Amino acid sequence: MSQDKKPAHEPLAEGVVFHAHGVTKVYQMGEVQVHALRGVDLDLYRGEFTVLLGASGSGKSTLLNILGGLDTPTDGHVYYGDRDLTRASERELTEYRRYHVGFVFQFYNLIPSLTALENVAVVTEIAKAPMRPEEALQLVGLGERLDHFPAQLSGGEQQRVAIARAIAKQPDVLLCDEPTGALDSKTGIVVLEALQRVNQELGTTTAVITHNTDIAQMADRVIYLADGLISKVQVNETRLAPRELKW
Ligand code: ADP
Ligand code: MG
């Protein structure tokens, strides 16, 4: 974490949820330094659906992990509302992750011995104002699968349980790292529909990492990363429904 003096911080612009400024991440691998992020400036807006695109190794996961408080930058600042995540203590970051952020990863990380309902309830039990686990599962189209164990569900269904688990605590932001990476296109589309529904019905600010350029068409905004920097930002005037995507 940077040791520079605390900068005077202006209030975030209207509608801005995340304000990242000069975010740098260097991994020290023995003698070698890996520059994963080289000074990223980025604002994410309340309620928007963003897709992060870029080649493997371009820094997508590192950026998402920093936004989600799973990792801290080497330099730069990340404001979430009026708090600077780069100056938060471990305890504050835990609180931030627990109450404000939902994560979805490529592999679903469900607990095999718990049903779909129980996997979601694990999270709602420690949340402040959760929705009912049944409700979260209904929102992702799994209202009929509550008592199924992960092994009795398809990959796409398991990923939708993971989405239900992530959103059941009603997080402000949902961060998804290659959520369709392990799925065939048909199943992936159903998962993307669940994400779109959550974004539209709950207004959850959503960022989705993918290396599939076709998925970008369902986003409000597409952020392109290349070699640790944002190379392009594209605003989509119209968003396609997941069902209209082809890949
Ligand atoms: P992406 O998600 O776009 O594939 P990453 O953010 O995972 O990219 O990685 C960016 C760069 O940082 C890559 O060169 C990767 O090897 C390196 N990197 C990521 N995580 C670590 C780590 N924990 N230790 C060392 N190097 C890492
Ligand atoms: Mg990655």
206 within some domain: yes
Q: 11 pLDDT exceeds 80?
A: no
1 within some domain: no
139 within some domain: yes
Which CATH number characterizes residue 195's domain? 3.40.50.300
At 14, is the pLDDT very low, low, confident or very high (cuts 50, 70, 90)?
confident
207 within some domain: yes
Q: How many domains does the chain have?
A: 1
pLDDT tens-digit series, residues 104-135: 999 999 999 999 999 999 999 988 889 999 99
Q: Residue whose CA is closest, atom 16 of ligand 1?
A: 57
The reply to whether ligand 1 has any atom less than 6 angstroms from the CB of 62 is yes
Q: Distance from the CA of 135 to the center of ligand 2, in angstroms?
A: 30
Report the pLDDT value the prediction gives residue 82, as an integer from 0 to 100.
Answer: 87
pLDDT tens-digit series, residues 92-105: 999 999 999 999 99
34 within some domain: no
The reply to whether ligand 1 has any atom less than 6 angstroms from the CB of 54 is yes
Q: Residue whose CA is closest, atom 11 of ligand 1?
A: 36
Contact of 53 with 211, CB cutoff 8 Å: yes
Report the pLDDT value the prediction gives residue 9, as an integer from 0 to 100.
Answer: 65
77 within some domain: no
134 within some domain: yes
The reply to whether ligand 1 has any atom less than 6 angstroms from the CB of 11 is no
Q: Distance from the CA of 95 to the center of ligand 2, in angstroms?
A: 24
Report the pLDDT value the prediction gives residue 1, as an integer from 0 to 100.
Answer: 47
Q: Distance from the CA of 71 to the center of ligand 2, in angstroms?
A: 13
Q: Distance from the CA of 128 to the center of ligand 1, in angstroms?
A: 33
Q: Which of 166, 179, 170, 182 is nearest to 215 (CA)?
A: 179
Shortest-distance atom of ligand 1 to CA 58: 3
Report the pLDDT value the prediction gives residue 97, as an integer from 0 to 100.
Answer: 94
212 within some domain: yes
Report the pLDDT value the prediction gives residue 246, as an integer from 0 to 100.
Answer: 79
* Owning domain of residue 226: 46-70+90-244
